[in-house]
Amino acid sequence: MRPGSTVPRFSIIIPARNAAAFLGETLKSVLAQSFADFEVVVIDDGSTDATAHIARDFQTDDARVKVLSGPGRGVSAARNAGFGASVGPVLLFLDADDLLLPDSLLRFHTALESSALSAALGEIQRIAEDGSPLPGNSNTALAEGGGHLTKLLRKNFVVNGGALAIRREAIEAIGGYATDLAYGEDWEFWCRLAERGDFAIVPGGPVLAYRQVASGANYRARGSVFALKVPCIEKVAAKESLRLHYGLKLNRLLRSRRIDVFWSGVRSEFQFGSKARAMMIAAAGACLYPDSLAKPDLALRFLKSLGR
C-alpha cells in the first residue's frame, strides 16, 4: 500500500473452485508485482480440493491476501462477492489459473492515471496448461481505433478479465456480473461497461498469461457450438439501450458474435477434444455460417490459433 494509506490502489478478485493445481502460481505472480499497492480477495467457491488451504497459507504469509468461503454459487456470484468485500478504487478480476506479468499493475496504474476512461485493457499471452506459450492474435490490436462497444458486440476482444483493470465507480454504475448466465457472463458484463465509453489501452506487450486448460469455460461450453440462441448474446440483444442506439445493425453485429462463438468452440474442440470432430464441425459451420467464409482475416486468425 502507499505510505500512510489504508486503501490499496488495486483490488484483485480471484474466484476459485477446485483450483489447487494452479492457484499457488497465480498468487505468486500477484505478490511478485513491482507495484505493491494492492489487496487480493480470493473467493473459495465451494471447492472440494485443497484450494481453500492454499489460499489461507498465502493469507497467513501476506496480510494483503483475504480469503472468503462460498457455497459454490458460480463464478459470477463469486466475483460479485469479492467486489463487495474489496475496497480498492480499481478492480482486476483474475482467474485462478492465470498469471500476471511482473509489471502488470504498474502499467495498468500508469494507463489509468493518464486517462479518465472507466477501464484499461492490456494484451494477453496465451499459455498451455504446462505454462508454455501458445500462438495467438493481439487482442489489443483488435481494439485499435476506438469504437469499443461496436467491436465488442461483434467479437470478444477483451478475452479475459485479468487483462482489464476497471474503476470501482464504473462497476457500481453498471451493476455486477449477471448470475443467471453460466457462460459468456464476462462478455455481457464488458458490453455494459463499454456502453460508458472506450477503454484505455496499455502499451508495451502482454500483461496477462492466459492459461488454456481443458477444464476451462471455453471447452466446457463447446456442446453449444451449434446453438442459434446463446444466452449471453440473447441477453445483450434484448437490451433496450442498445436496440435504440444501433437499430437493425445490432442484429448484424451479434450475428458476427455468434460466428465468433462458433469458431471459438471449434478451436477448443481441436485443442482439447477430438481433432477429427473439430474438422467435421468446421465443415458443418461453413454451411451454417457461409458469411464467415467471406472473412479471410477470420480464417487466418483461426488457423494461426490452431498451431503450436
pLDDT tens-digit profile, the chain (308 residues): 444 458 999 999 999 999 999 999 999 999 999 999 999 999 999 999 999 999 999 999 999 999 999 878 999 999 999 999 999 999 999 999 999 999 999 999 999 999 999 999 999 999 999 999 998 889 999 999 999 999 999 999 999 999 999 999 999 999 999 999 998 999 999 999 999 999 999 999 999 999 988 655 544 444 455 556 789 999 999 999 999 999 999 999 998 888 877 766 666 666 666 677 667 666 666 666 666 665 555 555 555 555 54
Q: What is the pLDDT of residue 289?
A: 61
How far is it, in rounded angstroms, from Cα 165 to Cα 261? 24
DSSP 45-97: ES-SSSHHHHHHHHHHH-TTEEEEEE----HHHHHHHHHHH---SEEEE--TT
Q: What is the pLDDT of residue 2?
A: 47
Q: What is the pLDDT of residue 261?
A: 75
Q: What is the pLDDT of residue 295?
A: 58
Q: What is the pLDDT of residue 260?
A: 78
HSE (CB half, 13 Å, CA atoms) of 135? 11
Q: What is the pLDDT of residue 145?
A: 95
Q: What is the pLDDT of residue 258?
A: 84
Domains and CATH numbers, the chain: 10-213 (3.90.550.10), 219-306 (no CATH)
Q: What is the pLDDT of residue 278?
A: 62
List Cα–Cα distances, 91 to 7, 103, 248, in angstroms: 13, 16, 34
Q: What is the pLDDT of residue 72?
A: 87
Burial class (CB in 10 A: 0-12, 13-18, 19+), 162: buried
β-bridge mates for residue 45, sequence order: 70
- Please check whether residue 120 is in contact with residue 170, taking contact to mean a CB–CB distance below 8 angstroms: no
How far is it, in rounded angstroms, from Cα 106 to Cα 265? 34
Q: Is the pTM of this model over 0.85?
A: yes
Q: What is the pLDDT of residue 283?
A: 65
Nearby residues of 296 by Cβ (< 8 Å), 6 or more positions away: none
Q: What is the pLDDT of residue 302?
A: 54
Q: What is the pLDDT of residue 70?
A: 81
Centroid of chain to Cα 251: 24
Q: Give the amino acid at 159.
A: V
